[in-house]
Amino acid sequence: MSAQFQPYTRRQTMIAGDFEVYRYRSTYMNEVALHHHDFYEVYLLLRGQVSYIVENHLYKMRPGDILLISPLELHQARIMTDAEPYERIVLWAARAYLESLSSPRTSLTRCFDTTVPGHTNLLRLPGAGSAEMRRRLERLGELHARNGYGDDLLAAGCLTGCSSLYDPSDVEDPAGVGTSALLGEDGTEALAAIYKDALARSGLEAGGDQRVQNALNQALNRRTADGSGLTRALRDALRRAGIDAAVYSDLPSLLAAKEETACCVVLLRTAASESGLDAVIMSEVLQQMSAAQTADTACQVYLSVEDGPDGRAVYALLLVRT
């Protein structure tokens, strides 16, 4: 399976009674409608720029990311561009089959369980973990395509290994979504440096608390598909990080806040620079923020970069402490 792709089909029903594995490569495809099905799905993105809606969450995907989709969860992939091929591995598994492979001590459906603390549809495993999951899914596809003696048992063992690769209670909520897949890690760092220079000129400080940065990235990742729900998602992410901060939805409310620690998120406008990267245009809200600082307050700014169909969006979290 590692070197072969299956023809893509819009079929959303299983043919086999146990599981099915597909590896797809699309150079162009129309958007698949929002849908659900009555079996489990594991989706591994190999290549492409994709946002994925699961219920009311919008996930920004990176190659190597894994999505876990439970039966009856509404979901939809949104392909950001046709500039490069869209490659993914999809595993469908029947509920009864996964349950039959489970034991009293180990449930293979636990990773899909939304009641588990910290549950998330999106998994961003460390590099070795993602590579191992890809290897196992490819091996599973090879075994499922064979009909030799013992291949069914080997496939069942391989599927068990995929499902028990991690304990979801130990998987950290993905925090690295605030980077640009188009620019890559080096380009993202260079872009961040441009913004930090602009912030320094405005008298504002670039934040250095990684917990806050992770909370911003997680909140953007977990906001609802229509863009709302960011305030609630940020409040939850900060609370999980052990940071007690009031979260406001707009700058005037933040400026009027009485809490010792408060924050809000604003969207920065960008423009192309001569270097080919984006240069920040310090928006009016940040100018207001800078002017509102006093000797008793400190404002830190955390940035998160996202790729979109119309370019890059840069979000700034303004954190005020008195």
So what's the pLDDT on residue 188? Answer: 52
**Which architecture characterizes domain 19-170 according to CATH?**
Sandwich (2.60)
Angle ∠(212,166,8) on CA atoms, nearest 5 = 95
List the beta bridge partners of residue 92: 20, 41
List pLDDT tens digits, range 81-134: 666 788 999 999 999 988 988 888 888 888 888 777 667 788 877 666 778 888
CA pair distance 77, 53, nearest whole angstrom = 6
Domains in the chain: boundaries: 19-170, 184-321
So what's the pLDDT on residue 127? Answer: 63
So what's the pLDDT on residue 196? Answer: 66
So what's the pLDDT on residue 39? Answer: 94
Q: What is the DSSP letter of 169?
A: G
In a structure prediction context, what are the per-residue pLDDT tens digits for the chain, which is 322 residues long?
A: 445 777 887 788 899 888 899 998 887 766 778 889 999 999 999 988 888 888 878 888 888 888 999 998 999 988 876 667 889 999 999 999 889 888 888 888 888 887 776 677 888 776 667 788 888 888 888 887 787 888 788 888 888 877 655 555 444 455 444 444 444 455 555 556 666 666 777 777 778 888 888 888 878 777 766 666 888 888 988 988 889 999 998 888 888 888 999 999 888 766 655 555 555 565 666 777 777 777 777 888 887 776 555 556 777 788 888 7
Q: Which residues contact 233 (CB under 8 A, 6 or more apart)?
A: 218, 219, 220, 222, 223
So what's the pLDDT on residue 112? Answer: 85
Q: Alpha helices, DSSP H only, in the chain?
A: 95-101, 127-144, 151-163, 184-202, 210-222, 230-240, 251-255, 284-292
Three-state DSSP at 178 gives coil
CB contact at 8 A, 97 and 18: yes
The two structure tokens encoding residue 188: 């993202």
List the beta bridge partners of residue 305: 314
Contacts made by residues 282-290, CB under 8 angstroms, sequence distance 24+: 282/198, 282/201, 282/202, 285/251, 286/199, 286/202, 286/204, 286/316, 286/318, 287/202, 288/251, 288/255, 289/204, 289/251, 289/255, 289/318, 290/202, 290/203, 290/204
Q: What is the DSSP letter of 218?
A: H
Pairing between β-strand 122-123 and β-strand 66-69 as defined by DSSP bridges: antiparallel
Three-state DSSP at 264 gives strand
So what's the pLDDT on residue 38? Answer: 92
So what's the pLDDT on residue 321? Answer: 82
So what's the pLDDT on residue 240? Answer: 84
The two structure tokens encoding residue 118: 């910290």
User: In 10 A of CB 212, how many CB atoms?
Assistant: 21
Angle ∠(123,179,51) on CA atoms, nearest 5 = 55
CA pair distance 28, 15, nearest whole angstrom = 25
